Structure 1
């Protein structure tokens, strides 16, 4: 009955994300639109956590990022329940040191 509670959510570090970016994987940013506009990974797509249940996308690996890793973990869990190969990015944008794009 409680078996699913202890199922680990797959996650990677920011360093691992920068290595996998070269493979053209999808990065979903689950922060609010205003947080996203303030600065995001240039090729990421904004799908706020409150709208993640409506996400419909491709079968490619999805890396999920937020500000610190809490919301992205929740979103990753929801996406995996829907059958997506979703991976949480630990530390979120707080750990990102690459280029940042402002606006949409």
Structure 2
């Protein structure tokens, strides 16, 4: 399975396709700008929402769920890359995160 660090992902710029597989409640609290939320709990039913024909970067809170989703996507023929450390590592490295109104 292909993986990328959060710093290497950030260096690719804003035009990459990032899927966040955390559950909706987690995602609504804090998210990386420009990501699309496709919760792992309904991932199989939502494959039609995954962009086709371009590399898809998959993240979650810390990397466990995204690695499962990345492996599944790769098995389906997608060019999928796991984001190591997820949004937690993204935030720790100083990359932008949006918060629900009233949050941080």
Smaller-chain TM-score range? 0.7 to 0.9
RMSD: 1.2
Choose from 80, 85, 88 the match for 1:86: 80
The equivalent residue for 1:6 is none
Query: Residue 99 of structure 1 aligns with which residue?
Result: 96
TM-score, normalised to structure 2's length?
0.84
Give the Cα separation in 2 of the matches to 1:53 and 1:95. 26
TM-score, normalization by structure 1: 0.84
Aligned length: 94
Unaligned runs of 5+ in 1: 1-8
Per residue, is there more strand in 1 or in 2?
Answer: 2
TM superposition shift of 1:89: 0.3
Q: For residues 6 and 82 of structure 2, what CA distance do their matches in structure 1 show?
A: 10
